[in-house]
Every structure is written in structure tokens, then in C-alpha cells.
Amino acid sequence: MLDTELHQLSVDELEAAYRAKRLSPVDVTDAVLSRIAMHNDAVNAFVVIDTDEAMLSARASESRWERGEPLSPIDGVPTTLKDTMLAKGWPTLRGSKTTDPCAEWDTDAPPVARLREAGAIFLGKTTTPEFGWKGVTDSALSGVTRNPWNTSRTTGGSSGGAVAATALGMGVLHTGTDAGGSVRIPASFTGVFSLKPTYGKVPAWPASPFGTLSHTGPITRTVRDAAAMLNVMARPDIRDWTALPADDTNYLEGIENGVKGLRIAFSLTLGHVKIVDPEIAELVTAAAKSFEKLGATVEEVDPDLTDAESIFRTHWFASAAAAGKSVPVDKRYLLDEGLREIMERGRNVAAADYIEAASGRAAIGERMQAFFRDYDLLLTPGQPLPAFKAGVEFPDGFGFERWHEWTPFTYPFNLTQQPAANAPCGFTSEGLPAGLQIVGPLFADAFVLRAAKAYENIHPFKMPHAPISGS
């Protein structure tokens, strides 16, 4: 019998237990489903929970392990899918009342297909704001998703359901999408690990309305679990014509090699961020100093990203307008009021302005390529503020008008398409998580995972046992 509760076990632990026949995927899936039944009402992480399908898949996985024929190391591992990803048999409503739940749902998106082929046990689909348009998770369709560390606070978004499920052990592996920070924002607010891979590393289909800003990545309790998940999701799919060429990278190889000898940049402002909570700054600074203890050289320096906000805003608003074209005219009144507003602003973006923003984006990419000739990694806060009140787009008292104004550390690296991870780095005096963002050069996903694992080794990530009520 294992000392650790079943819902807390990692991929490595599950694989070893399945192989030795000390545990069955049926046992683990049943334990995780019990966690969902116990805690989901408090946080609203799921829009679909399919107990029958999960147990059917678990029994099939159990048979494969008994025969010694598992499909992969994640065969039998409980997994969730964000409700922006197509999955056979389940509606993909994208958090919107405008989507027809009775449509034909007979296709898996590429990451879903790869996970299914690998034997992952699909538990259900997790909450998202409408079309994933904002940095918090609430919608008229599915309600408000709440932070496990304080249920009066937001998880962030748009992968808010996935991170709530992660933190509470309602699944082991969780999928997210990130077009401006949507795997990293909620991970920072809830104290879990997430990775936005290099653009194209994980094939995606259908194409996101947010275009080449959008990445698909893992959300997990440990770095190694994310690496194991990426090993599967990064496999090729011909439907994504923008995907990177397939390679044989094993993201678990070398993950324990540490950061000794690396030159790491550290920035609390990225040269343009004006508001950073003092407690967040203190926690992130301490995390950066930990890399010095691990043998790296850490230098405080600000890359030139002063124009990133205006460039991102043009891309985001125009993309929102494009997303709106898929909504029938007679249903647009059902859309989130904030989404309708940015769609309208996007429709007013002139072609010349968009092309100018695309040129500005290219210039930022070039500057960051040059920056990473001098540095191996860049460390920043995950978010400048801790989690704020649930059910609102932005916190009061700062003069913000839209979500991207309080997420200045994440969206620049959607513009540049670089890999970026969130690693939990402690708690504020109110008990709210803080996150450390680890950014690497293009295609250096394994390097980012290696650095995150080195940090995790000396600062193990902490998860809540149950949702914590708060005011």
C-alpha cells in the first residue's frame, strides 16, 4: 500500500505502481472521481464530468497493464480537457451560450487525440470564460470558478477550471490553452505548475481565432508530470499546418541536470510594468536568488518590452472580432458584455494598423532573440498581483479597464512565441499563491522544464487538501 493518497500520486508513481500491480487505474480513477464529487461544488472546475466513460476507460487500461501492454507511461492516468478543445462524444461549448450543444461532436483536437492514444483517462471538461477571451474564469453559461486557496477569489483564466482541478487533486494531468497567459495566469493565482510551450510545439486544430498567439500546454502539480504530458501532446498531427516538425525529444531526459553555470536574467518590471505588489516582488526576488544557490549567475536586467501592450491589444481585439464572426447574428446578444465590447473595438482596427502591429510584433521578437544571446533564461513575476475577487474581470482600485492591463508579464511571450512556465514560489500574508515565470529562448522548452525542476527540488510545491473558504 502506498503512503500517499491516490489522488496525490504523480505519473512516475502511478506508472511504477501499475507496473508492479500494486495499484490499478480503476482504483486511482475512482479515488479521483471521489475528489471531484467532494470538492467540485466549492470551486466549479468542471462543465462535464463523465463518470461512466472514465471508469470504462480505466477498466480498459487495467487490462492493458495486467497484460504488460500499456500504451504509454501515462496509460491509466486521470486527465482533464479544457472546454475549448474538441473531444469525441462531449460538447465543446467554449463557455458560451451561443454554441449548440446538440451539434456533431465526433472529432478529437490533436492534443486530445494524442492523449487518448496514450491511454489517458478522460474525466471531463473544465471551465473557461467565453471563447477564452479574458484572464479570469467566469461565464453566463457555467458561472464563476473559484480559487481553492480562498474561494472568494478568482482562479484567473482562461484555464481556471483546469488549475482548480489540478490544485485539488481532481485529476493528474490537465490541458490548457494560452493566447495571452491562460495557462500561466491561473497557475500563478492557484500555486500549480504550467508550461506554455514554444508556438507550434503542440499541434492544435481547429485554428484558434487568436491565431499565432495561442499555445496549448500542460497544467500539473509537478514539473515531471508536465514533461511526461508534453512528451505525448507534442506528437505530430497533419491538421495543424503551423506545427513545428516532429522530433524525438524526451522532455524527461536531462530534466534533473540543474542550472549550474547558467546566466539568468531577472526582471521585476520588463521595463514597462508600473504596479507590482510588494509581497509578490519579495517572493519572486527570493525565488530568483534561489537560482544563485543552485549555481547560476543571476543578473537583474530589463528587456525592452515597452511597446508590447499596445501591440498585443491590437492583435487581441482584432482576433476577438474574428471570433465573433462565427456567432450567428441572432445569438450575439447572448455574448459576454465585455467580449462584445472588444469585438466591436476589433472591428474598428484598420488593416494598416494591424499590419503595423504585426511589424511591431516582429521587432519585439527580434529584440528577444538578441536578448537570449546573452542570457540562458529570464525570470519574472508570474503575475504582479495576488488573486483578487472572483467574478470580476479586473481588481478595483488600479484604474484598469481590461484584463490584459493586469497581466503584463505573460502576453509579451505570446507575441514572441517563446516557452514560458509558471512555478509556484510561496504565499502572501493572506495565504494566496505567488508565481515565478521562467522564460526561455525559442525551442528551449526542455531547458525551461529543467530550470523549473531545479527550483522545485529545493522548494517543493504545496497544494491545498481541500478548498479554503474566504471573504
pLDDT in tens, 171-197: 999 999 999 999 999 999 999 999 999
Question: Residue 471: its pLDDT value, please?
Answer: 76
Mean of pLDDT values over 282-310? 97
**Closest by alpha carbon to 153, among 387, 382, 403, 386?**
387
The answer to whether residue 314 scores a pLDDT higher than 90 is yes
Pick the catalytic residue from 61, 82, 194, 453. 82
**Closest by alpha carbon to 125, among 103, 105, 140?**
105
Write out the H or E segment, with its range, that includes residue 18: helix 11-19
Other Cβ atoms within 10 Å of 443 Cβ, number = 18
Mean of pLDDT values over 363-387? 98
Compute φ and ψ for 305, nearest 5 degrees.
-125, 25
Helix-helix angle 278-293:445-458, to 10 degrees: 100
The answer to whether residue 307 scores a pLDDT higher than 90 is yes
pLDDT in tens, 315-364: 999 999 999 998 999 999 999 999 999 999 999 999 999 999 999 999 99
**DSSP letter for each residue of 58-105:** HHHHHHHHHHT--SSTTTT-EEEEETTS-BTTB---TT-TTS-TTS--
The answer to whether residue 2 scores a pLDDT higher than 70 is no
Mean of pLDDT values over 442-449? 98
The answer to whether residue 3 scores a pLDDT higher than 80 is no
Mean of pLDDT values over 365-383? 98
3-state class (DSSP) for residue 422? strand
Q: Clarify whether 82 is annotated catalytic.
A: yes
Average pLDDT of the chain, as a whole number: 97
Q: Clarify whether 293 is annotated catalytic.
A: no
Report how far residue 37's alpha carbon sits from residue 17's, in angstroms, rounded to the nearest whole number.
Answer: 25
Contact 323, 289 (CB under 8 A): no
Question: Residue 1: its pLDDT value, please?
Answer: 43
**Phi/psi class of residue 95: alpha, beta or left (left: φ > 0; alpha: ψ in -120 to 50)?**
left
The answer to whether residue 286 scores a pLDDT higher than 90 is yes
Residues facing residue 216 across a β-bridge: 177
Pick the catalytic residue from 139, 182, 194, 290. 182
Mean of pLDDT values over 450-468? 98
Please, which pLDDT band fits residue 217 given cuts at 50, 70 and 90?
very high
Q: Which CATH architecture has domain 6-458?
A: Alpha-Beta Complex (3.90)
The answer to whether residue 93 scores a pLDDT higher than 60 is yes
Pick the catalytic residue from 24, 158, 194, 208. 158
Mean of pLDDT values over 66-76? 98
Question: Residue 407: its pLDDT value, please?
Answer: 98
**Judging by DSSP bridges, how do beta strands 78-82 and 121-126 pair with one another?**
parallel
Which residue, chain included where needed, has cell 523549473?
Answer: 452
**Judging by DSSP bridges, how do beta strands 150-154 and 146-147 pair with one another?**
antiparallel
Mean of pLDDT values over 60-88? 98
Mean of pLDDT values over 201-215? 96
Mean of pLDDT values over 385-389? 98
Q: Clarify whether 214 is annotated catalytic.
A: no
The answer to whether residue 35 scores a pLDDT higher than 60 is yes
Report how far residue 377's alpha carbon sits from residue 384's, in angstroms, rounded to the nearest whole number.
Answer: 19
The answer to whether residue 246 scores a pLDDT higher than 90 is no
Alpha-carbon distances of 238 from 5, 56, 196, 242, 348, rounded to whole Å: 40, 29, 21, 9, 34
